[in-house]
């Protein structure tokens, strides 16, 4: 019997994905625009695209690699979540929901050493441009090493360890720009240090366990550690090494780790960006609030042999990084935790349309769900919320649009909510509101459900039943290229 290989973060994921031919290695590409442009083109034009592993990048030695589109196929998304590769999309969402909801809090295990410590740079040796940091979009304000990154901070009052995803711009060989939304948990932690006149200790990983990265950009209540959640989802504690400079926990199987400090902005800050964001628009720099952003003074860098930068540099929503928007699982979990009954599906389309399917149980049920979505942290930044019946697949945009155009009346079924939370990446937020720090906007809820009081008189659906559809797919799969989800 062959013993299962030891768990090794991103590399375990790559090994498994390679078994199914899911990784395409490309040599000789340029970090300056080419990798970004190719990644977006592949995601937009190829259904279920391969992951792109770039090596021998222009100006860099063999082995200093970049991985793009790691979970842009359903199969790789399943592998990243530890599920069978043929798991359907809706099951990926349901499984993510159950695992996140039921995972025990499992604190990390401190180990004396790990692969991330194979190579070290300290103090004057530090050079961020030793790595092929990307210039991803034509109007970016500089090169970015941190897009698939986890930024780790520790609350000085409670000891809570947070891991969040924030973009990291290379300003100098030992200076990074740090951008995060007002109200972001890392910002709250940093401000506690700044109020004491201190710099905030910080660590960041660039590449590593994809599960840790996934959790880092989901929204959990303040005080819930993503590293503890990762241990619960993995089924064993996440191995971490104690950062020699900051004392912060650094995932032992990360590809690259950075330690440093974030001084109060009054002491040092820089213009950051512009940067092409997930909304499909640039933000920051001259396009932002006009305020300089915090910086990270880098004190040390650690990296594995043949390190891999995880490139999650945002692309326009029509070229998605993920086959499944699994942050929708976080929203589903928040709705159920709030006691909302009858939810049968949740999905987030493009960058701002939330679809929730429900089994209606009583008058006003749809309105209750719509209001709950607006109050959920994971829906912040969405522009439209669409509530549909349970015969509509929330993950299928065509079905959602069909329900919107046939089961809703504009005069009766569109509710506009003013003063709801948005974020600093909202392209439609007026400049004067951004300048004043007013991160609120309007959102619309569209109730595309059969009207409760005459739902039994609503016209019957003219569509084959799911069992008929599955039977046809099974019978003719060898003759026709049916998708497997």
What tokens appear for 223 in the block? 């005080």
Residue in the block written with tokens 């109730």: 447
Contacts of 151 (CB under 8 A, 6+ apart): 163, 164, 165, 166, 168, 178, 180, 186, 202, 203, 204, 216
Beta strands in 366-475 (DSSP E): 384-389, 414-421, 440-448
R_g of the chain, CA atoms, integer Å: 23
What tokens appear for 281 in the block? 């628009």
pLDDT of residue 197: 95
Q: For the chain, list residues with pLDDT below 50.
A: 1-4, 288-289
- Cis geometry, peptide bond prior to residue 107 (ω within 30 degrees of 0): no
Pinpoint the alpha helices (H) of 408-485: 410-413, 431-436, 466-476
pLDDT of residue 286: 57
Look at residues 207, 189, 200 and name the one whose alpha carbon lies nearest to residue 146: 207
Query: Beta-carbon neighbour count of residue 2 at 10 Å?
Result: 4
pLDDT of residue 19: 93
- Domains with residue ranges and CATH for the chain: 9-94 (no CATH), 105-311 (2.30.110.10), 327-476 (3.40.1670.10)
Q: State the Cα–Cα distance between residues 305 and 331, nearest whole angstrom.
A: 38
CB 356 within 8 A of CB 343: yes
What secondary structure does DSSP assign to 224-287, as a single string? --HHHHHHHHHTSPPEEEE-TTT--EEETT-SEEEEEEE--TTT--B----EE-TTSSEESGGG
Q: State the Cα–Cα distance between residues 267 and 269, nearest whole angstrom.
A: 7
pLDDT of residue 1: 34
**Exposure class string for 210-239: b at 16+ Cβ within 10 A, else e:** bbbbbbbbbbbeeeebbbbbbbbbbeebbb
């Amino acid at each position: 019997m062959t013993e299962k290989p030891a768990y090794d973060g991103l590399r375990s994921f790559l090994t498994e994905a390679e078994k199914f031919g899911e990784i395409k290695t490309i040599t000789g590409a340029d970090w300056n625009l080419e990798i970004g442009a190719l990644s977006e083109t592949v995601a937009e034009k190829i259904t279920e695209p391969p992951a792109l592993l770039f090596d021998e990048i222009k100006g860099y030695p063999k082995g200093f690699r970049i991985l793009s589109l790691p979970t842009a196929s359903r199969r790789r998304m399943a592998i990243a979540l530890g599920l069978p590769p043929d798991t359907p999309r809706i099951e990926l969402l349901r499984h993510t929901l159950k695992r996140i909801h039921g995972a025990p809090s499992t604190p990390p295990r401190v180990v004396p050493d790990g692969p991330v410590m194979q190579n070290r740079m300290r103090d004057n040796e530090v050079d961020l441009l030793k790595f092929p940091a990307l210039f991803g979009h034509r109007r970016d304000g500089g090169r970015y090493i941190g897009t698939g990154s986890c930024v780790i901070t520790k609350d000085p009052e409670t000891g809570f360890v947070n891991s969040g995803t924030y973009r990291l711009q290379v300003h100098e060989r030992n200076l990074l720009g740090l951008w995060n939304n007002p109200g972001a948990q890392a910002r709250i932690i940093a401000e506690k240090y700044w109020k004491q006149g201190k710099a905030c200790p910080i660590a960041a990983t660039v590449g590593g366990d994809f599960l840790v990265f996934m959790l880092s950009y989901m929204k959990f209540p303040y005080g819930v550690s993503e590293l503890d959640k990762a241990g619960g989802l993995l089924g064993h504690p996440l191995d971490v090494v104690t950062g020699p400079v900051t004392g912060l926990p650094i995932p032992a199987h990360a590809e690259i780790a950075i330690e440093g400090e974030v001084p109060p902005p009054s002491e040092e800050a820089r213009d950051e960006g512009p940067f092409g964001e997930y909304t499909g628009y640039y933000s920051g720099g001259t396009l932002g609030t006009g305020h300089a952003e915090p910086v990270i003074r880098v004190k040390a860098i650690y990296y594995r042999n043949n390190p891999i930068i995880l490139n999650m540099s945002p692309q326009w929503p029509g070229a998605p990084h993920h086959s499944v928007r699994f942050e929708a699982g976080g929203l589903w979990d928040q709705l159920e935790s709030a006691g909302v009954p009858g939810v049968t599906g949740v999905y987030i389309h493009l960058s701002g349309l939330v679809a929730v399917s429900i089994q209606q149980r009583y008058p006003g049920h749809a309105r209750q769900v719509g209001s709950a979505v607006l109050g959920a942290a994971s829906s912040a930044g969405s522009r439209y919320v669409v509530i549909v019946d349970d015969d509509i697949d929330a993950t299928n945009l065509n079905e959602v649009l069909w329900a919107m155009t046939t089961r809703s009346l504009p005069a009766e079924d569109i509710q506009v909510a003013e003063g709801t939370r948005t974020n600093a990446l909202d392209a439609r937020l007026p400049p004067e509101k951004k300048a004043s720090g007013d991160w609120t906007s309007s959102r619309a809820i569209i109730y595309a459900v059969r009207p409760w009081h005459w739902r039994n008189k609503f016209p019957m659906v003219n569509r084959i039943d799911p069992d008929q559809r599955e039977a046809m797919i099974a019978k003719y799969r060898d003759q026709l290229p049916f998708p497997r989800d």
